[in-house]
Amino acid sequence: MTLDLDASLALLRTCKYLPEADMTALCARVKALLLEESNIQPVQSPVTVCGDIHGQFWDLLELLRVGGEPPETGYVFMVSAACPCELAMLASLHKVWAPSSVQKGARRSGGRARCQHKYGNANVWKACCQVFDYLNLAAIIDGRVLCVHGGLSPDVRTLDQIRIIARAQEVPHEGAFCDLMWSDPDDIETWNVSPRGAGWLFGATVTKEFNQINGLDLIARAHQLVQEGYKLMHDNAIVTVWSAPNYCYRCGNVASIFRVDDLLAPGRAAQLLPDEEHGAEANGGGGVGRDHFRIFEAVPDQDRTTPARMNLTSAQYFL
């Protein structure tokens, strides 16, 4: 079937749903695109890196307003897939419309009840799950900046080890695949057990060794709420980017997106310097600093709606 992408995007931007036939066809097209892509999808700068969105549809529209619309602006999304139907639809449409714009997602279950309520069956939810199963595990920008949802794994020392993981599956409970989705950097030296019950805590020595072995300047990741929107750690070898402002409508945090351009040339990522306000300082001698992080706030409550038929609580909305 022929899908009118412009008309579909216009409809979704009002937080309305695509017909079931259109949505299942869209998922099939996205899956076909993903089948041609690597576990670590190469991306060229300039590109904008985004962290978790957590189903906050109206804040995603604000993110696109701040960062620029696809296809003029390319994006790497390091998000979990726990999202409502309308956000999954919008992301899928942008993937078809500009295949380089939506590159990375971590997978979690979520949204079945919402799809069931809207469509009267689970067909759309199942189609979305098939897409989620084929999402890339990571992206690499100009061969120098690795984008991954969670973090590193004691089972992975090289990028080639990520490239051979079988990704068309649910996230396992342990192992390299799990760790890439669930691990977190911490103020330790090497490895420690994660309080999440999945993945690991990893320290500065681990991050720096991984970057050196793989010729990386920086690891960009999401997965953790940061009140200031982003946080640099491990002597600026890794940055957490968080893109869900006022998370769950109660945390009061700002969000950020990270613009990677030609200033982030080989070796320049080390020139990211911390400051007290936002964790990075513009470097007058070149390199990347505060200006590469765009900070934005949540859309006001009066400017956001949910589809009339659903009547879900805000807590359910983010499951």
Cα dihedral sign, 258-260-264-267: positive
pLDDT at 179 over 80: yes
In the structure encoding, which two tokens stand for residue 10, read together?
């216009």
Please state, for a pLDDT cut of 90, what percent of the chain lies above it: 50
Quick: pLDDT tens for 302-316. 887 755 444 444 443
Convert 97-134 to b/e letters by CB count within 10 Å (16 or more is b): ebbbbbbbbbbbebbbebbeebbeeebbbebbbbbbbb
pLDDT at 25 over 60: yes
Q: Where are the alpha helices (DSSP H) in the chain?
A: 5-12, 20-35, 57-67, 85-97, 112-119, 123-133, 159-163, 176-182, 204-213, 314-317
Of the listed 94, 223, 234, 278, which one is catalytic? 94
pLDDT at 287 over 50: no
Q: What does the mean pLDDT of the chain come to?
A: 83
In the structure encoding, which two tokens stand for residue 34, read together?
């993903």
pTM of the model: 0.86
262: buried, middle or exposed (CB in 10 Å: 19+, 13-18, 0-12)? exposed
Number of domains the chain is built from: 1
Q: Which domain holds residue 310?
A: 5-317
Closest CA to 106 of 149, 77, 56: 149
Quick: pLDDT tens for 83-133. 556 667 777 777 776 765 454 545 555 567 777 878 888 898 888 888 888
SS (H, E, C) 20-69: HHHHHHHHHHHHHHHHCCCCEEEECCCEEEECECCCCHHHHHHHHHHHCC
Q: How many helices (H) and strands (E) does the chain have?
A: 10, 15
Instruction: Tell me the residue ranges of DSSP E strands in 152-199.
Output: 184-185, 191-193
Q: Do 27 and 130 meet the contact criterion of CB atoms below 8 Å apart?
A: yes
Q: Is 275 helix (H, G, I), strand (E, B) or coil?
A: coil
In the structure encoding, which two tokens stand for residue 260, read together?
């990677």
- Catalytic (active site) residue 173: no
Closest CA to 234 of 209, 253, 255: 209
SS (H, E, C) 290-313: HHHEEEECCCCHHHCCCCCCCCCC
pLDDT at 250 over 80: yes
CATH number at residue 30: 3.60.21.10
Backbone angles phi, psi at 172, to 5 degrees: -70, 170
Residue 280 pLDDT grade (very low, low, confident, very high; cuts 50, 70, 90):
very low
Please state, for a pLDDT cut of 70, what percent of the chain lies above it: 79
Amino acid present at 275: D
